[in-house]
Amino acid sequence: MGMFERIKRVLKGNLNQMISRAEDPEKMLNQLIIDMNQQLRESKNSVASAIVDEKRLERLTKSAYAETQKYEQEARSFVSAGKDAQAKEALMRKQEAEQQALQYREQWEAQHESVEKLKQALRQLQQKIDEAQRKKNLLIARSKRADAHRKIQETISSFDNNSAFETFDRMAREIEEKEIRNEAFEELEATKAPDSLDDEFAKLESAQNSPDRLLEDLKQRMKDEERSS
């Protein structure tokens, strides 16, 4: 699921920028949430495309199985009419349709499993974005409190003649505030998207039966059905 990997890279890049640049935390956090929601919309479109593929494979599978039934009925009709050559041809077409149906069914089931996992991952991503939204509001409140505290300290320090020691204390407080802010951003970085899924399918190999054998099998089944009726 490359789309979720892209989300993780975008989030990580934005977080690193916020940590390294002394900009307005509220503005940057709001932009981060906007970016996350944009990636979520793109991910939903990708999942929708996967669902479309699943539905298409489902229709192809059902259509192929319907073909097998059609050729079965044709073969029976030819046998009843004493047209063995036409019956053989119908049975061969039935066999081809069965093989096609098995291949479509295998791909359909694999696609269905993949889509279900994508849906689950999308739900988890939505939950994490909601959680990030809540944390964003808390972080902004904490940032404002920290700014207010810093301004008060700056005002107090302006009346202090011992400027060297005050500068040292002020820098220590600013470093501590940066550390606390970094810890807060690390909480957002913990919101990660699921890893990519591997889509590997095993091909079904079916042995070809000869037309004569298929015809004999059909005749025997028709005799068995007459005796049992």
pLDDT in tens, 173-218: 888 888 888 887 777 676 554 444 444 444 444 444 567 777 887 8
Q: Distance between CA atoms of 8 and 121, rounded to whole angstroms?
A: 13
pLDDT in tens, 2-49: 555 555 555 555 555 554 454 677 788 888 888 888 888 888 888 999
pLDDT in tens, 153-177: 776 666 555 566 677 778 888 888 8
Position 139 confidence tier, pLDDT thresholds 50, 70, 90: confident
pLDDT given at position 133: 81
- Let me know: does 43 contact 11? Beta carbons within 8 Å: no
Query: What does pTM read for this prediction?
Result: 0.49
**Which residue, 88, 94, 50, is CA-closest to 71?**
94
- Let me know: does 136 contact 185? Beta carbons within 8 Å: no
pLDDT given at position 160: 54
Q: Distance between CA atoms of 16 and 135, rounded to whole angstroms?
A: 17
